[in-house]
Homo-oligomer: A and B are copies of this chain.
Amino acid sequence: MMEAIKKGDIRQASRLIRDIEDKLPSAKAKIKKLYPHTGHAFIIGITGAPGAGKSTITDALISALRQKQKRIGVLAVDPTSPFTGGAILGDRIRMQRHAEDEEVFVRSLATRGALGGLSQAVGEAIHVLDAMGKDVILVETVGIGQQEVDIINHAHCVLVVLVPGMGDDVQAMKAGIMEIADIFVINKADRGGSKQLQTELMGLINSTPLTEGGWRPPVVMVGNAHEAVAFNDKIEELVQKVEEYYTYLQQSGKLTERVYRKIQVEINDALRANILEPVIQKLKSSGRMQALVESVRNKEVDPYTAVEEIARCFLK
């Protein structure tokens, strides 16, 4: 199976990603074996609020990068939580037009349940695509909340997609958005309000202090996808910005920083899975959790004191 995946076998890779989603222990063993064969792919995160048109951008990037003979992997991350809006049916169908192309491998990824499991699954699925020999991996996610910042930190380069009509929100996002965005995309830029959004965004970018030799995130204005020529030109511009960013990362030594950041996220995910989750599982299966909830409910103990005692029981 490992050899097949390394040769780019889509069926074996799909199966392993499904096993990752289902959190099968066998999947972890396989990822460990694949790990030494990863590190080739450049990973681009694509994030933005629901309805920003992330999938349109992802789809267009696939086409543009294919013209450059890049082998592409795509992960459409679906947090299966409220307000995701990530992987809606129409977008998935649209991306299927690449399904005939053997060098494009699109998978959506969802996991239910607790405590950052999704971010870990994203990290592992990226390793699968990477080991398959993909040159570029696009990770599309809804960028809201700490968990999603974790997910996007699996990428080397982060595109933030915005749409007109959220001008006020740009103010609210300020620090957070500047922290994660390497390139901004204003989508549906033919709509009213796109100039205002651009102005606010540029103001925000220019008021953020730049370290020496630092990168100032460019803003690419992408119009209506139905006006194919103008749209494709803009996507071409976007690809060029990504290439410029890649060159910047390499020449500045920042690529190493990004790789470290990515590893840190993976370690944090793994710590959660290997330290916090087993404790919760043991508390639940032993009935201690239920007893704890009851005694907090009856005000016999406060939750903080109770958990401090539990921590003393479990930690060396």
Contact = CB atoms under 8 A, between A and B. Distances in A.
Interface of A: 28, 31-32, 35-36, 39, 47-51, 79-90, 115-116, 118, 142-149, 160, 165-166, 168-169, 171-173, 175-177, 179-181, 259-260, 263-264, 266-268, 270-276, 278-280, 289, 292-293, 296-297, 299, 302-308, 310-311, 313-316
Contact of A173 (B35, B85, B276): B85
A259 B297 contact: yes
Contact of A82 (B79, B86, B115, B173): B173
Contact of A270 (B79, B147, B176, B303): B303
Contacts of A31: 302, 304
Contacts of A268: 115, 280
A270 B144 contact: no
Nearest to A178: B82
A18 B89 CA distance: 44
Given A81-B144, A86-B172, A177-B82, A279 B289 contact: no
Given A296-B267, A315-B275, A83 B32 contact: no
Given A280-B271, A314-B316, A83 B169 contact: yes
A165 B264 CA distance: 38
Closest 6 CB pairs of A and B: A145-B145, A144-B144, A270-B307, A35-B302, A85-B169, A82-B176
B50 A49 contact: yes
Contacts of A315: 275, 278-279, 314-316
Chain A, interface SS category: helix
A299 B175 contact: no
Given A80-B176, A275-B279, A289-B267, A166 B85 contact: yes
- Most chain B beta-carbon contacts within 10 A, residue among A50, A260, A273: A50
Contacts of A166: 50-51, 85
A278 B310 CA distance: 14
A149 B289 contact: no
Given A32-B304, A146-B79, A176 B297 contact: no
A288 to B, nearest CB: 11
18 contacts: A49-B85, A51-B166, A81-B144, A82-B177, A83-B169, A85-B169, A144-B148, A145-B147, A146-B147, A263-B293, A264-B293, A266-B303, A267-B289, A267-B306, A267-B307, A270-B308, A275-B279, A275-B310
A90 B274 contact: no
B307 A271 contact: yes
B83 A144 contact: yes
Nearest to A312: B274
Nearest to A50: B169
Given A83-B177, A85-B169, A274-B310, 6 more contacts: A28-B304, A49-B50, A84-B144, A85-B166, A142-B144, A270-B308
